[in-house]
């Protein structure tokens, strides 16, 4: 094991987690991680318990095509969740990166991490020497981050009511993490693993940095699109199939690091994980660059990767490396033909107008012309569209609407479909 890997394990052992500390709502006792060495499948590893959550830690794990990973790598650690109710938790691949070794292979590092994420089998976390070292050594103050992309370019809407926006995105428990390093982030996630919470926090971060003027200024959207296409190509961006209104933002984080963000406002209202598109671009030969500045920018790029991996559409590139076709995120198309098949059966124009939005929002295909039976087996009402499993109906008449409600369904009139879509979608996506 390298010195950094040993320090990483020791930093875990010494870490102290206090639930609620980040939001100044400390409501629990200090959590002391329990870490012991174990043998798993003939290999030396560790068993970690932090709070109520347990993890099995494997070391020096080979990752390749057998794991659906297109670019092979050797992970320093893989954290496997243990216990009940962990079926929704992915294992976490962890790399501990030292600048001296990695400065000459940054492009490969980025590609290896993208390959792991695109496998859909793992999360991927990177911690540098500067992330780990202060937590490993005793009585050393944690220095502030030299570069922090998450505290730049706040928009006026957020500055006027930060708590309100946090609550809208339901992620206030992570307030304060924007100023913490990647090691603290990892320990926070290990103690309280909640992918949906981190998804909401990632969406929130893009929303509070949105250039609100860009929603109405097409020139800003055009410039953003041009620059992103130059980095990742046209196909990757076109797969993020969005409709106006949307925002864009280009953040010049440092001479070497730029953060490109865009968001679909309608999807943001519904807190969809596909609502934002993020591209992180690290450049080695930028104007005013220096070796120290590149090192800090690399560390921040990895930290951003740790966060934005929780979004559906996020890319990381180094210099002018071309994006592998294997890394392009494809929009879901499984049910497109089924949606097309029911279009001729829909008579209501208000429903037809909203149909394209439903087709891209991971909504199951409904049954058109569904007949609701009464207790005697007769027809009590007819729905223009019905989602039988979740008992949601769209009706054209008040009588049909009331009949569905009387039998315990969630029913809306077709004429109200567009306005009520934010309320209807969560029920359809359950």
Please check whether residue 387 is in contact with residue 364, taking contact to mean a CB–CB distance below 8 angstroms. Answer: yes
C-alpha torsion 177→179→183→184, nearest 10: -40
Q: State how far the Cα of 186 lies from the Cα of 219, in Å rounded to an integer.
A: 39
pLDDT at 23: 45
Closest by CA position to 114, among listed 400, 370, 305: 305
Q: State how far the Cα of 332 lies from the Cα of 320, in Å rounded to an integer.
A: 28
DSSP one-letter string for 106-172: HHHHHHHHHHHHHTTS-EEEEEEHHHHHHHHSTT---PPPS--GGGS---HHHHH-HHHHHHHHT-G
pLDDT in tens, the chain (430 residues): 588 899 999 999 998 876 655 544 445 667 789 999 998 888 889 999 998 899 999 999 999 988 889 999 999 999 999 987 777 789 999 999 889 888 999 999 999 999 999 988 899 999 999 999 999 887 778 899 999 999 999 999 999 999 999 999 999 999 999 999 999 999 999 999 999 999 999 999 999 999 999 999 999 999 999 999 999 999 999 999 888 899 999 999 999 999 999 999 999 998 988 999 999 999 988 778 788 999 999 999 999 999 999 999 999 999 877 788 889 987 766 566 788 888 889 888 878 877 766 776 668 899 999 999 998 989 999 999 999 989 999 999 999 999 999 999 999 999 888 778 778 887 886 6
In three-state secondary structure terms, 276 is strand
Measured CA to CA in angstroms, residue 190 lies from 117, 203, 214 at distances of 18, 21, 37
pLDDT at 26: 46
From start to end of 312-364, where are the E strands? 313-318
Estimate the share of the chain in helix, then strand, then coil, as percent rounded to the nearest 5.
Answer: 40, 25, 35
pLDDT at 28: 60
Cα Rg, the chain, nearest whole Å: 24
In three-state secondary structure terms, 385 is strand
pLDDT at 58: 96
Residues 6+ apart with CB under 8 A from 279: 228, 231, 232, 259, 260, 261, 314, 315, 316, 317
pLDDT at 338: 83
* Secondary structure element (H or E) that encloses residue 224, with its range: helix 218-232
pLDDT at 182: 97
Task: Give the N- to C-terminal CA distance of the chain in Å, as an integer.
Answer: 45
Measured CA to CA in angstroms, residue 120 lies from 317, 393, 428, 429 at distances of 19, 33, 24, 20
């Amino acid at each position: 094991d390298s010195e950094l890997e040993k320090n990483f394990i020791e930093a875990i052992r010494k870490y102290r987690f206090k639930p609620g500390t980040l939001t100044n709502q400390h409501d629990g006792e200090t959590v002391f991680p329990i870490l012991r060495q174990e043998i798993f499948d003939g290999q030396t590893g560790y068993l970690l318990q932090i709070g109520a959550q347990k993890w099995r830690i494997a070391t020096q794990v080979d990752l390749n095509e057998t794991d659906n990973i297109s670019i092979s790598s050797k992970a320093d650690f893989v954290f496997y969740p243990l216990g009940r109710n962990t079926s929704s938790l992915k294992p976490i691949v962890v790399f501990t990166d030292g600048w001296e070794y990695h400065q000459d292979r940054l492009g490969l590092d980025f590609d290896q991490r993208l390959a792991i994420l695109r496998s859909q089998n793992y999360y991927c976390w990177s911690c540098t020497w500067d992330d780990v070292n202060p937590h490993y050594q005793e009585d050393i103050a944690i220095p502030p981050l030299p570069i922090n992309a998450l505290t730049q370019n706040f928009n006026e809407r957020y500055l006027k009511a930060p708590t309100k926006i946090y609550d809208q995105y339901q992620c206030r428990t992570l307030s304060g993490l924007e100023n913490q390093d990647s090691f603290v982030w990892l320990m926070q996630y290990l103690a309280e693993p909640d992918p949906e919470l981190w998804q909401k926090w990632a969406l929130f971060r893009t929303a509070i940095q949105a250039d609100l003027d860009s929603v109405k200024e097409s020139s800003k959207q055009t410039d953003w699109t041009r620059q992103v296409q130059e980095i990742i190509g046209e196909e990757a961006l076109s797969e993020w199939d969005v409709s106006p209104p949307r925002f864009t933002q280009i953040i010049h984080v440092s001479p070497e690091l730029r953060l490109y963000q865009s968001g679909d406002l309608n999807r943001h209202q519904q807190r969809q994980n596909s609502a934002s598109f993020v591209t992180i671009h690290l450049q080695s030969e930028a104007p005013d660059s220096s070796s120290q500045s590149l090192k800090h920018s690399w560390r921040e790029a990895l930290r951003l990767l740790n966060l934005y991996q929780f979004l559906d559409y996020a890319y990381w590139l180094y210099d002018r490396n071309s994006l592998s076709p294997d890394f392009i995120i494809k929009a879901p198309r499984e049910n497109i033909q089924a949606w097309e098949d029911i279009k001729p059966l829909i008579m209501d124009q208000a429903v037809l107008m909203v149909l394209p939005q439903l087709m891209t929002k991971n909504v199951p295909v409904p049954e058109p012309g569904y007949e609701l039976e009464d207790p005697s087996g007769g027809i009590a009402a007819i729905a223009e569209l019905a989602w039988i499993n979740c008992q949601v109906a769209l009706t054209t008449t008040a009588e049909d609407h009331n009949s569905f409600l009387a039998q315990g369904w969630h029913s809306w009139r077709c004429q109200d479909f567009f306005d009520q879509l934010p309320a209807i979608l969560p029920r359809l996506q359950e």
